[in-house]
Amino acid sequence: MRGRDWEEVAEAVSERGGSNNKKSVEQCKNKIDNLKKRYKVELQRISGSGSSWHWFKHIEVIMGNACNGKSSGGGAAAAGGDSEGGGGGGSCGNANVVVKQVKR
């Protein structure tokens, strides 16, 4: 994502967290990177069985949508075959997806 995109993400996260919980662009980037890394580790660990990690299903939907337009069935294919945390390896490894929640 571009710098302005990350600024918008940080602003949105800060608004949701209240005035005492302001988040920087770097904090948001690091959180997304860590979530993607944890997701890839979980994919390797579970190898077909379910994950008990709270965010797994949410990230699976996002990563699946980023890769092929639908939720992945899990497994190594959803991680793009990439065992490193830095991305790469297929269209999934470099997926930068931000889900915006609209306040009503």
In this structure, is residue 84 part of a structural domain?
yes
Query: Is there a domain that residue 101 lies in?
Result: no
At 24-59, the pLDDT tens digits run 999 999 999 999 999 988 888 887 677 889 888 898
Q: Assess contact for 38 and 54: CB atoms under 8 A.
A: no
Mean pLDDT of 81-104: 41
Q: Of all residues in the chain, what percent carry a pLDDT higher than 70?
A: 61
Has residue 85 got a pLDDT over 50? no
99 lies in some domain: no
Asked whether residue 77 is domain-assigned, the answer is yes
Please report whether residue 63 resides in a domain: yes
Domain that holds residue 7: 3-93
In a domain, 100, yes or no: no
50 lies in some domain: yes
Specify the number of domains making up the chain. 1
Q: How confident is the model at residue 12 (pLDDT cuts 50, 70, 90)?
A: very high
